[in-house]
Structure 1
């Protein structure tokens, strides 16, 4: 056998010497037996030799043909054929080594597609189906996610573990996945695309969930234009500067409490099923220091740092509530992760 480590073979025979001494000897015996039979048959037809002798020569020729066929079959058993294209791994076989029937002398692997068998609990059988996409990770490549699909699902459950075995296939064009590696398989039951907000923006009270949505103050309310004497903002609210540094006229903002319905939690976010829209602005944190309908102003619109050292916080938040405590606001946007 002429095979080297990690050598790739197509579906064919591994090179071996052509013919053998036994086959050459058997072929020669067939030719001799055929020649003897032909000669004695001619003599028997002319009445010179007995017909029994011709029949005996024919029998010898048939035996020589049978011996040749046996030797050819044995030679085929000594030829190792690759049942599929793949890569030959390490082998301890050496030229001249005696190999017993059934002994493993090498490994052949087709790693273009890796198949993984894994158990799935009984309660998730309704999710499984042929072609279901899934992902897998390996300890050897912690930052890489491999994508595949379910190719086949077993027809029976294991009565001991109450699970069914599913077979997944992962394309492996670069050969990074090796047979025998440990893979962690994940199946996404569903992907939910709903708005999500930070956990700090949700207020839980008496089994209900609320969020403080930033809205325009209605006319006549404190903080709205004309709602306070002289148009001044209430105590604790940040004023918006005008072009000359004075208070800027414009709609006042308040924090309105809205009941919401929450869903899943993941990575510091809470899924919003109802009560908020993606375009809504909310108070992202500091909700325990602000009351419903308190006036607010968006951070970044409260002015820039002036000569007196007073100024607005960095953009991206809101200044609101009594005492001028600052709050960050965030849009209720971004899909929640997979369920």
Structure 2
């Protein structure tokens, strides 16, 4: 069959094309509107973007009066040591009455030697003195009679001179006998070893039964129990110290005592370039004394006070070997600031440079912040509220 083809008018075809173009434009506009609607910020997402990272407390950097101290190290030594030795010769040590650590008084008997031979020598010297005195009495009587007969001519001048000489010789023998007796008395006194001063026995080498020679050390004593701290100070810092200045010395057990500078050495060690500062320590005897001779101790000298700007130690965060603080801005965001620290005392730390006075710094939580974080500032000492625990679901 033959199909019939009817011609389409040109105006009708153009109207169809126009309708399709308008419909496509409407669809395209709707799509663009939907995309634009999706790009608008959601209020809930915006609130989540500015949520604070941490709840912190802040404070201001305020001026304070801090003490100026000079730290030093040194040894604890005896103020003066007394060496107590033997002055006797050939005597046996019979008794030892003092030991290490004993507190003794001046004149106290520390040791006793066997003095039988010395006592015999004393008795012999005393008998020789009596004999010399008897001889001198007889010589004095003969000389007196010779003087009375001198004018009568019964005795010659030679005989009278002999009597006079005998009298003088007898008197000289008395003096010699007294000197000998005194020597033996001294030897007898040396049979007892006495303490030369008040103090503490620091060492003992005396042994019962030994026969020490003259000058042998038997005891060593710390005079008056006084100790001193010999601090080593560099030449540059030596001019800051003066006699009478206070010093705090710390013992090995942690206890501290306050001493006083007694003297500054007039010379400086050419090897170490340091000088010794002698600090008198309070006298404390006994086994529980915090300081003992030969101990190493550290301390500090009190040089006065100066004004400084301080912040709490919690406000300083140490990272990569540098110290930082976090400054709180008006937009509740923190800014990391590098600072240089100084002295530390009573929970406060000195800020030498890098921070302006009265700057608002973060205290608690500074170690967990980064530069630019947003925080929530609360009053100091008010803990943040913790979420209450929900009851278990049944």
Greater RCO, 1 or 2 (C-alpha within 8 Å, sep 6+)? 2
Larger Rg: 2
TM over 0.5: yes
Q: How does 1:142-221 map to 2 (within 5 A)?
A: 143-175=254-286, 176=289, 177-187=291-301, 194-198=309-313, 200=315, 211-213=326-328
Deviation at 1:155, TM superposition (A): 0.8
Q: 1:255-283 deviations in whole A, cap 9, x for unaligned?
A: 68799975416599642467344xx8642
2:356 maps to 275
For the 8 Å contact 2:245–2:302, the answer to whether it is kept is: no
Query: Which of 199, 217, 220 is matched with 1:107 structurally?
Result: 220
Structure 2 unmatched runs, 5+ = 1-94, 147-154
TM-score (structure 2 length as normaliser) = 0.53
1:288 maps to which residue? 370
1:11 pairs with one of 103, 106, 109: 106
Q: More displaced, 61-70 or 267-276? A: 267-276
Bigger fraction of residues in strand = 2
Pick closer, same or farther for the CA change 1:199–1:119 going to 2, 3 Å.
Answer: same
Cα deviation code 1:23-52 (max 9, x no counterpart): 232222212211221123213322498514
After TM superposition, give the deviation of residue 94 of structure 1 in Å.
Answer: 3.2
* Long gaps (5+) in structure 1: 223-253, 310-339
SS of residue matched to 2:182: helix
Distance 1:95 1:289, change over 3 A: closer
How much has 1:98 moved relative to structure 2?
1.2
Name 1:24's counterpart in structure 2.
Answer: 123
The secondary structure found in structure 2 opposite 1:264 is strand
Q: What CA distance in whole angstroms lies between the structure 2 residues aligned with 1:41 and 1:203?
A: 103
Q: What is the alpha-carbon distance in structure 1 between the residues aligned to residue 210 and residue 233 of structure 2?
A: 46
Asked if structure 2 preserves the Cα contact closer than 8 Å seen for 1:85 and 1:110, the reply is: yes
TM-score for both structures, normalised by structure 1: 0.61
1:38 aligns with 2:137: yes
The structure that is helix-richer by fraction is 2
CA shift in 2, pair 1:92/1:155, >3 Å: closer
Q: Let me know the Cα RMSD of the aligned residues.
A: 4.2
**In structure 1, the residue corresponding to 2:239 is in which secondary structure?**
helix
